[in-house]
């Protein structure tokens, strides 16, 4: 999630707006191609970070990502999500620190820091107007091109206005500041003030699919295959799991006590659709199923938290290694996600 920081907002957050002329004349747009963008976050896509929202190409109340799918949304007060959202696993990963990186060479023109990290659904104070981006950085790449990086962790911004940066240079850390519900980086690309989808570039010959000249470099583009749905986080809990605790990284332990009150497999998923099914299977140390549950998805949901398990009725859990498998299936029985399946393990002792 994230909103554009307009020049007036930049003045409020940084106290200074720098014109391109302050850094010397940029070459003409006709003579120079758009910037080539590298991955703006230090992670392994599909393993430690996931794109959960793309740029919205529908100018009205509907939503349409670059493939004509629905992995996007309308931002409050606007008709289009204007960036690409890279989610990290949970609050624990955020606290450990995941670096936000400059996607291309340029000059920092604005920044903001000091905004608190807080999930807007957790009862935190409302985000003031103009601060939806939270802590952020804007970089001018010349010829009217700029990138903006939102929701950085409080007090992590490592650059200041006038600073020249290189592609891959650390700008700060992924956080939960501004108008957001989960730790992620929102990156917007603009040319002459207009949002540009980096998967499309400045034009394409068909309405759906990537453009002929996307802005991502070849390595980054190959690492970011389109994925409408993702099983991105899962684990075991010794109790009925609370979504907030799971998303904060409080069920990260891989060991459970034999007298734990319950043995529960939980999972977090993005962008599930009506007609999908989620199958959760728990196998004990002997390889036999302890619990298997299938949940039909009845409506489209941007985010789904789900769990299945058993309470301890008497005695103790058998010691050993337990395996949990979460599978997201389409209505036709085929996989509907990338990845379509996630396996997690825990040891009971």
- In this model, does residue 59 exceed pLDDT 90? no
Q: What is the pLDDT of residue 61?
A: 86
Check: CATH 2.70.70.10 for 7-223?
yes
- In this model, does residue 26 exceed pLDDT 50? no
- The better pLDDT of the pair 164, 14 is held by 164
Average pLDDT over every residue of 54-80? 87
Tell me how far apart the 2 most distant CA atoms of the chain are, in Å. Answer: 76
Beta strand pairing status for 255-256 and 341-348?
Answer: parallel
Q: What is the pLDDT of residue 334?
A: 44
* Most confidently modeled range among 18-22, 58-62, 289-293: 289-293
Report the mean per-residue pLDDT for the chain: 87
CATH topology for the 230-348 domain: Immunoglobulin-like (2.60.40)
Residue 14 binned pLDDT confidence (cut-offs 50, 70, 90): very low
Distance between CA atoms of residues 280 and 28, nearest Å: 56
pLDDT in tens, 219-277: 999 999 998 778 889 999 999 999 999 999 999 999 999 999 999 999 999 988 888 89
* Same CATH fold assignment for domains 7-223 and 230-348: no
Give the long-range contacts of residues 122-129, CB within 8 A, separation 24 or more: 122/244, 127/178, 127/179
pTM of the model: 0.86
Q: Which residues, 6 or more positions from 68, have their beta carbon under 8 angstroms from its beta carbon?
A: 207, 208, 209
Q: What is the pLDDT of residue 318?
A: 96
Distance between CA atoms of residues 35 and 223, nearest Å: 18
Average pLDDT over every residue of 27-48? 81
In the chain, domain spans: 7-223, 230-348
State which H helix or E strand residue 311 sits in: strand 301-311
């Amino acid at each position: 999630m994230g909103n554009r920081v307009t020049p007036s907002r930049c003045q409020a957050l940084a106290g200074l707006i720098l014109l391109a002329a302050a850094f010397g004349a940029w070459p003409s747009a006709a003579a120079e191609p758009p910037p080539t963008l590298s991955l703006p976050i230090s992670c392994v896509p599909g393993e430690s970070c996931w794109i959960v929202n793309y740029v919205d190409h529908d100018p009205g109340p509907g939503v349409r990502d670059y493939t004509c799918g629905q992995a996007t949304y309308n931002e409050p007060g606007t008709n289009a999500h204007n960036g690409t959202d890279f989610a990290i696993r949970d609050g624990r990963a955020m606290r450990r620190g995941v670096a936000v990186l400059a996607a291309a060479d340029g000059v920092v023109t604005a920044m903001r820091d000091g905004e608190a990290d807080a999930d807007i659904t957790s009862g935190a104070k409302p985000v003031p107007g103009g601060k939806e981006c939270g802590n952020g950085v804007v970089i001018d790449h010349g010829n009217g091109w700029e990138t903006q990086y939102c929701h950085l962790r409080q007090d992590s911004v490592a650059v200041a206005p006038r600073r020249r940066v290189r592609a891959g240079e650390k700008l700060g850390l992924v956080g939960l500041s501004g108008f957001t519900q989960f730790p992620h980086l929102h990156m917007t690309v603009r040319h002459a003030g207009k949002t540009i989808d980096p998967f499309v570039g400045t034009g394409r010959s068909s309405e759906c699919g990537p453009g002929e000249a996307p802005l991502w470099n070849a390595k980054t583009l190959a690492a970011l295959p389109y994925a409408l749905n993702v099983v991105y986080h899962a684990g075991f809990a010794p109790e009925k799991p609370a979504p907030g605790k799971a998303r904060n990284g409080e069920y990260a332990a891989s060991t459970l006590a034999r007298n734990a009150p319950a043995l529960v497999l939980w999972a977090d998923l993005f962008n599930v659709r009506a007609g999908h099914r989620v199958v959760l299977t728990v196998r004990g140390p002997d390889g036999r199923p302890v619990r298997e549950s299938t949940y039909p998805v009845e409506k489209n949901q941007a985010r789904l938290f789900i769990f299945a398990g058993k309470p301890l009725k008497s005695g103790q859990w058998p010691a050993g290694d337990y395996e949990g498998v979460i599978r997201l299936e389409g209505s036709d029985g085929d996989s509907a996600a990338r990845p379509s399946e996630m396996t997690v393990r825990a040891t009971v002792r």
